[in-house]
Structure 1
């Protein structure tokens, strides 16, 4: 899996890294149970601070995407990502709220917004079907 960090982006580097790892799992570019690079190794490969990688890994661990073992290192959760529950749905709603509000203010129509969402969702479905 190729990770592309934009050092000039407004989005924090640890968030970019976390989101790209999640996308890699969703697209099956990273297999369940697959070992990930160590914090130091990934930081060196990407040319970023190891604390940044550690922050991304800790968030991924909290959300159930990865397991961190003393002997095995960082591993994609072999049981898969925990299914969506009420807490996740609430978090998703809270994340969507400002995106929709800004889109509304900028004149993006409901149908256009929904089409964008469908397009992104389909990209993940297609990636899964191709593997």
Structure 2
């Protein structure tokens, strides 16, 4: 799996890493039970600080996308990731809401935003950046 970090982005590096790993899970590049590199090895491979990788891993662990097993390593949830709960759906909606409002302010129609969403879903599934 290819990881690309934009150093000049306003998105923190740990979050960029976590988001790309989430996309890898969404695409099926990373499957339940797959191992991820150790914090030290991943940091060395990506040329970043170990604390950054550690923070990304803990972010993913909080979301229950991965398991960190002491002395065994990091694995994608072995039993798969369950369908979103109502609480998780509400949290996603709260995160998306400001972006939809911004689109409306920019005079995007509902149809344009739905088309954009569909295109983004397709890009993620196909691994396009």
TM-score, normalization: structure 2?
0.91
Instruction: In structure 2, list runs of 5 or more residues that go unmatched.
Output: none
* Deviation, structure 1 residue 33: 0.5
Check conservation: 1:64, 1:82, Cα contact below 8 A.
no
Distance 2:70 2:89 in 1: 32
Structure 1 match to 2:60: 60
* Deviation, structure 1 residue 70: 1.1
How many residues were matched structurally? 127
**Superposed counterparts of 1:41-120, under 5 Å:** 41-120=41-120
- Check 1:17–1:126 CA distance in 2 against 1; reply closer, same or farther (3 A cut): closer
Distance 2:19 2:60 in 1: 9
1:45-87: CA deviations, max 9, x gaps? 1111111111110010111110011121001111111320111
Aligned to 1:121, the other structure's residue is in SS state helix
Runs of 4+ in 1 over 6 A off after TM superposition: none
Superposed CA RMSD in Å reads 1.4
Instruction: In structure 1, list runs of 5 or more residues that go unmatched.
Output: none
- Check 1:126–1:49 CA distance in 2 against 1; reply closer, same or farther (3 A cut): closer
